[in-house]
Amino acid sequence: MARYGMVIDTVRCVGCMDCVVACKTENGVPEGYNRDWIAYETTGTFPSLHTEIRSERCNQCDNPPCVYCCPCGASHIHERGGVVLVHHEKCSGCKACIAACPYDARFIHPDGYADKCTLCIHRVEAGKDPACVAVCPTHCMHFGDLDDPNSTVNRLLHSRKYHALLTDAGTKPQLFYLE
Amino acid sequence: MRELVLTRTNPMIDPRLHIWGWEIALYLFLGGIVAGMMIISGYFLLKGRHKEMTCSCLTLPPVAIGLLSIGMLALFFDLEHRWYFWRMYLTFQPASPMSWGSWILLLVYPALFANALIRVPASLERWLPILARWSRAVQVRPGIIAAIGSANITLGIALGIYTGILLSAFGARPLWNSAVLGLLFLTSGLSSAAAFVHMISRNKDESILLAKADNAFLTLELVLILLFLIGLVSSTRVHLEAAMLVLTGPYAPAFWVFVVGLGIVIPLFIQSLAVRHRIAHTPLAPLLVVAGGLALRFVIVAAGQSSHWTRLILTN
């Protein structure tokens, strides 16, 4: 079975926010809301500082607390690729999933239901890349099947040093950042 | 140094998570006090002492129904997709404390109504004569009264613990991530309910008995708060940082003054003197206990949303 994930090259990412614009356009994300965003993380001691620029979104966790805590069964793991999705018509807007997410990747849509990145599953099922991946001008983002040893994402993870976000929280994120 | 800047601007999420406000804090408090009322009332029913403990067994059930309904209304107002609330009752999600809670609440109401049947107000009897018949049928059957007592104790414990586990199951919020919270909220609910009886009961023996019980609950609550904090402080870095929010951080004044000081220590001191007949029983101490129970929920709900996981960056 496929296990969809993303590999994002932080060396190539320049934080242009094309991915953000593409997501908002593709998915009709309301004004003032974000399914994906840019993180600028600066570490070190002056003058020896290092800034990592990341395109972030739902980490499509393999152990998703947002799904387990949902009292309505609205948050679920899609049969295709293990993508974490929300049935809008089942959601009561209780916000438990938002409290459960260590990445704060979810939000309440102005219509009342919990919303988040879907990895553009509608595009993936049509054989296309997610919108954010498709538009990236530096080609820093890669989408694919982490269970397929020949996929680009797997090849990159085997050849480069990488990290995932807040792995100590135990959610098994499926988005990886090349260093 | 570590500086993290996000371009994300999601309402209720950024810059600080604030998904739950007064509605949830009030609901958790009312759920807790109702749980305490069910346990106290159920205990005396089980012991066959409902005729002497009139406030606990006859006044509390209708009061509990009213308070729980206010709490449920607050919960309803908190829902963002509120007209879909019934979706919770089309499924049971065993891994979701909120799902457990919604089903527990559905069972709590019949138990409280059965408890209230033991004495139906005359005005209601005139309006609904069938209630008078049911009430008389219950009154002459001690076995049914004991069964109602057992059901109220069991469901009261479940309700009280669930209000804490609801928060503690969120591993993403380190301050809440302690199972002690279940027992702490249950004990706080028992304490508030005992204080309520202490305050309003006209039966002196009952009032003093519940004041003594409240002193035990308040002492246990202090111990549980200590265990809760020890658990966090001795855990991982993020849990330690979460504990500091209430120990020395922005929530410390509210926690120490309203929850621990005015909510537990001072009323415990006053009530200890009162039960030893050194000073008279006044509504001050029980009022402080009830307000302290409310403050506990507000502080934990607010501080928990400020606690979060952060990436540890090692620099030399």
pLDDT computed for residue B312 by the predictor: 65
- Answer whether B246's CB lies under 8 Å from B252's CB: yes
Does B5 sit within 8 Å of A39, measured CB to CB?
yes
A74/A90 Cα distance (integer angstroms): 5
pTM summary value = 0.94
Residue keyed to tokens 């049914």: B144
Q: Which helix (H) or strand (E) holds B168?
A: helix B142-168
Q: What is the ipTM of this complex?
A: 0.93
Nearest to B81 among A43, A49, A112 (CB): A112
Q: Which domains does chain B have, with CATH numbers?
A: 22-306 (1.20.1630.10)
Which parts of chain A register pLDDT below 50? Answer: none
Task: Provide the 3-class DSSP secondary structure of residue B268.
Answer: helix
Q: Are B153 and B278 in contact (CB under 8 A)?
A: no
- CA separation, residue B128 to residues B27, B62, B111, B121, B123 (Å): 30, 16, 19, 11, 9
Domain A4-178: assigned CATH number: 3.30.70.20
Question: Is A98 close to B19, i.e. CB distance below 8 A?
Answer: yes
Chain A residue numbers touching B94 (CB-CB < 8 A): none
Q: Pull the structure tokens for residue A93.
A: 């807007």
Token pair for A4: 């969809």
| Domain range annotation of chain A | 4-178
One-letter amino acid at A11 equals V
Q: Which amino acid is at A78?
A: H
From the list B79, B169, B172, the residue facing A102 with the nearest CB is: B172
Whether residue A93 contacts residue B80, with contact meaning beta carbons closer than 8 Å, is answered with: yes
Query: Sign of the CA dihedral B239, B245, B247, B251?
Result: negative
CB within 8 Å of B120: residues ≥ 6 apart: B131, B132, B135
pLDDT tens, position by position, for chain B (316 residues)?
A: 889 999 999 999 999 999 999 999 999 999 999 999 999 999 999 998 888 888 888 899 999 999 999 999 999 999 999 999 999 999 999 999 999 999 999 999 999 999 999 888 777 778 888 888 888 888 889 899 999 999 999 999 999 999 999 999 999 999 999 999 999 999 999 999 999 999 999 899 999 999 999 999 999 999 999 999 999 999 999 999 999 999 999 999 999 999 999 999 999 999 999 999 899 888 999 999 999 999 999 999 999 999 999 876 655 4
- Please give the distance of CA B104 from its chain centroid, rounded to a whole number: 14
CA–CA distance from B62 to each of A61, A76, A99, B110, B173 (Å)?
Answer: 46, 40, 34, 12, 36
